[in-house]
């Protein structure tokens, strides 16, 4: 699936089953909530915290997908083409950071 196809798929689902997009500020809050849930799984899986019983049935892939879903919703409702945005971001990183990380002694 392409990024464009994902944006179209989310948009179709929102209009069919979701009635409408939540407003932008609500989706920003939902994104924050979803990132928190992702952080909770990450810190328990790769960090030093232990799992709580309520965390045991959560899947990392599901939490990442939830974050992606809300990001796509925000992009759709604000008119951002994520393919174009990602390409522009990669170009910026190549110009700004093309050699910076390779020269960073901390990363060796």
Residue 25's CATH number: 1.10.287.1080
**Would you state the pLDDT for residue 102?**
86
The answer as to whether 96 is a domain residue is no
Q: What is the pTM of this model?
A: 0.89
Domain of residue 16: give its range. 3-81
Total domains, the chain: 1
What is d(CA 18, CA 39) in angstroms, rounded to the nearest whole number?
26
**Would you state the pLDDT for residue 76?**
98
Closest CA to 73 of 36, 35, 30: 30
The answer as to whether 32 is a domain residue is yes
The answer as to whether 45 is a domain residue is yes
pLDDT tens for each residue of the chain, 108 residues long: 999 999 999 999 999 999 999 999 999 999 999 999 999 999 999 999 998 888 778 899 999 999 999 999 999 999 999 999 999 999 999 999 888 888 899 988
The answer as to whether 26 is a domain residue is yes
The answer as to whether 86 is a domain residue is no
CB burial of residue 73 (10 Å; 0-12, 13-18, 19+): buried
The answer as to whether 57 is a domain residue is yes
The answer as to whether 101 is a domain residue is no
**Would you state the pLDDT for residue 64?**
98
What is d(CA 22, CA 69) in angstroms, rounded to the nearest whole number?
13
Residue 94 is encoded by which pair of tokens?
A: 């190549």
Residue-wise DSSP of 30-72: HHHHHHHHHHHHHHHHTSSPPPPGGGTT--HHHHHHHHHHHHH
What is d(CA 75, CA 77) in angstroms, rounded to the nearest whole number?
6
The answer as to whether 97 is a domain residue is no
């Amino acid at each position: 699936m392409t990024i464009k196809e994902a944006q179209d798929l989310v948009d179709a689902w929102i209009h069919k089953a979701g009635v409408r997009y939540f407003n932008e500020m609500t989706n920003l809050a939902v994104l924050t909530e979803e990132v928190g849930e992702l952080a909770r799984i990450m810190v328990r899986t790769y960090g030093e915290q232990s799992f709580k019983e309520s965390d045991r049935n959560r899947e990392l892939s599901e939490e990442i997908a939830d974050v992606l879903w809300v990001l796509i919703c925000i992009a759709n409702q604000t008119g951002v083409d994520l393919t174009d945005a990602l390409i522009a971001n990669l170009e910026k990183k190549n110009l700004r950071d093309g050699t910076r990380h390779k020269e960073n002694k901390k990363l060796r």
